[in-house]
Amino acid sequence: MRLPVWLLRAAPFALLVTLVALVPLALRGANAQPSGRLPVVTSTTVFVDMIERVGGDRVEAFSMVPSGADPHTFQPTPQDVQRASRARVAIWNGLGLDETVEEAVVELGIPKLVTVTLSAGIEPIADEAADDEDLAENAEGHGHAEGNPHLWLDPTLAMRYVEQIRDALAEADPANAATYQLNADRYQAELAELDAFALGEIATIPPERRKLVTFHNAFPYLARHFGLEVVGVVLTSPGREPSAGEIAELVTRLREQQIPTVYKEPQFNARILELAARDAGVQVKSLYSDALDQQVQSYVDLMRHNVTALVEGLR
């Protein structure tokens, strides 16, 4: 059977009309919020907690990087990206922590997406690992050399994050701006209390024992704020295992500096650090940094856990 010429000519046009008609429908579908809550996408579970504290029951926050995973090396699946397509607000840390997931969301081209970078406007500490040959090469294409991204582990900088989150939610959802303001004020008061508690606890560690050896370089802001010194880091760049020589050097440093405790982090396999600690005869405890898990489910819990681990390990 041959199709009439008019149908052959009309078919592409009809298809186009149908597609054009379907686009707004698809967009409405993508942005539909059955719960009525403001959908917010972010990178890690730590920021989900902060966003939920500020947004309360007005927001629905979700992280691209799952609980207990390392954001530095995480590659989102198509399902993760699909879920993000509903977002009206995107909240990233910046400084190279979450650029992979951010890029995936940028590629979606979500219209009117309110985007905020939490570390913006805060002077970062230079990342020592950026001097590394690997990263220096990388720095041309990526932003890893901009500075260390783990600002939130200093509670006073976490309070700056809260202001950024409050402003982003208010911009996307002005009708609830007063609620976001109230929630942010309450949360910041709690963070100020947390900070006072932490300063008091860490002050009980003798100054000569305030030395920190951690798995990855996540604690320079925490160390600066609380008067600790980072003397060693196992993982000098994301995804690269340390060499035997680097481990031997670490063991020597642990002995020389008489480090009482080294710190693993739950999102990393700690085997290497545990072997080094055994060789040097020091104990291993854990600190939380980039990820929450079943044991530690909020930023406040994370900081309380860390303070206790520091005091117990170093005092």
Chain contacts with Zn ion (rule: CB under 5 A)? 218, 290
Q: Which runs of consecutive H residues, i.e. helices, occur in 175-258?
A: 177-202, 220-226, 244-256
Smallest separation, CB 177 to Zn ion (Å) = 32
Q: Which two structure tokens, joined as six digits, stand for 297?
A: 């489910």
| Interatomic CA distance for residues 59 and 173, integer angstroms | 10
Smallest separation, CB 266 to Zn ion (Å) = 12
Smallest separation, CB 7 to Zn ion (Å) = 60
Q: Which is nearer to Zn ion, 39 or 220 (CB)?
A: 220
Instruction: Classify residue 253 by burial, with Cβ atoms within 10 Å: 0-12, 13-18, 19+.
Output: middle
Smallest separation, CB 97 to Zn ion (Å) = 6
Q: Which is nearer to Zn ion, 49 or 290 (CB)?
A: 290
Residue at shortest CB range from Zn ion? 290
SS3 state of residue 68: coil
Smallest separation, CB 310 to Zn ion (Å) = 18
Q: Which is nearer to Zn ion, 218 or 303 (CB)?
A: 218
Q: Which is nearer to Zn ion, 195 or 290 (CB)?
A: 290
The answer to whether 174 touches 134, Cβ cutoff 8 Å, is: no
To the nearest 10 degrees (0 to 180), the angle between helices 45-55 and 299-314 is: 130
Q: Which is nearer to Zn ion, 188 or 237 (CB)?
A: 237
Instruction: Classify residue 201 by burial, with Cβ atoms within 10 Å: 0-12, 13-18, 19+.
Output: middle
